[in-house]
Amino acid sequence: MSRGNPQSVVERDDSVSAETPAAADCLGVCHIASGDLWAGAEVQIATLLKYLVRDGGLELSAILLNDGRLAEEIRHLGVELLVIPESRIGFLGILRRAAKFLRGKKIHVLHSHRCKENLLAAMLALRFQIPHIVQTLHGMPEPQRRLKRLRLSLLSTLNRFVSRTAPDRLICVSPEMTRRLRGLAAPHKLVTIANGIDFASVRSCLSAAEAKMRLGIPSDHQVFGVAGRLEPIKRLDIFLRAAAKIHAIRANTKFLIVGEGREANNLKLLAESLGIGEHVLFLGHRDDIYDVLRAFDILVMCSDHEGLPMVLLEALALGLVVVAREVGGIPEVIQDGENGILVKSADPSALAAACLEVLADAERRRRLVDSGPQSVAKGFSAERMAAQVAQLYRSLMEPR
């Protein structure tokens, strides 16, 4: 793939080798990600790398713009890692440190995961004549508050240009995302590779009663919960309004909100105003997330859009009942009435009714619990995802 004359954009540095794998022992791949959170995208990156390291034909490295849980996971895998603290270093400083890290490495593919990282990958590819760029689009752009929206407008514009021109492939995590992004890049660049989960990690040794007890919840209470970033797109206001309707009918209920984000205070105020404040537990970030999920009788998903949420796959693997809005990539995982319940409406009354109906039907609930793990194992394993990504890398190196 031609990238033009790199000297017209940035200074060329030939000290990074981009020779083809036929002339090298391994195909060099460097992932570039933010790592500021530990949410679905970060879990997915860690899971992907965990399985890619088992491929003896890949030489992996990574650049993160923040230290944290993702960095810890990557270090544990033994993948060579550079962490650049973006809160203290400007973009040009990040570029210089990343360039120093890559100098001398045989890199064939840069794999980036978000907006700033996409720009960084494009500039590094030009500087070092790295032949291929892959981007993963973990979700659709989210609405931002005014000041942040203005600050990010230029970055977003540059990212749209880079996404149209620089990458060889754009990985979309669901067919629905691929369809929506057809205008972003040439059709041949768009590739659908579904998220996958590591079944060895997604497990809990607790019974539902034990998990509830650890959270101070009586075993005879039904637990409805959400897990993820507390951001506007997740529409947790719908969850709380549905919770108020559920609690009015079933008194022995608790509602768990697991995660962190800018909506936390607003959601606490809303819970109080709805009269259910004492029945809603805000648990924040949890490292024992699978033990917490075990306490759920029903996982509720209210988002306006989702790519292919990791928590959905994890909940199904754990045998939870899922009630979710029919948005984004969710219907590509949930077959309504077979391994979960889909709700077409954003009306809290419709969501509450769906939750109460499945709770009242023990036989239906049992069928959903039994079918969840089977459906995830069939199409959403980490092994399958990593094999598809590795094949994508190799396909880029094939003669054209």
At 285-340, the pLDDT tens digits run 999 999 999 999 999 999 999 989 999 999 999 999 999 999 999 999 999 999 99
The pLDDT value recorded for residue 143 is: 58
Say what the pLDDT of residue 277 is: 97
Tell me, what's the pLDDT at 157?
A: 58
Q: What pTM was estimated for this model as a whole?
A: 0.84
Q: Where in the chain is the domain with CATH 3.40.50.2000?
A: 6-196+382-396, 208-379
**Lowest mean pLDDT segment, chosen from 15-24, 82-91, 371-380:** 15-24
Report the first-to-last Cα separation within the chain, whole angstroms: 10
CATH class of 6-196+382-396: alpha beta
Rounded average pLDDT over 132-147: 74
Q: CATH number of the domain at 208-379, out of 3.30.2020.30, 3.40.50.2000, 3.40.50.300, 3.40.630.10?
A: 3.40.50.2000
Order the strands of the 190-192 sheet from edge to edge.
80-83, 58-64, 27-33, 109-112, 132-137, 169-172, 190-192
pLDDT (average), residues 33-46: 92
Strands 80-83 and 253-258: unpaired
**1 in Cβ contact with 129 (< 8 Å):** no
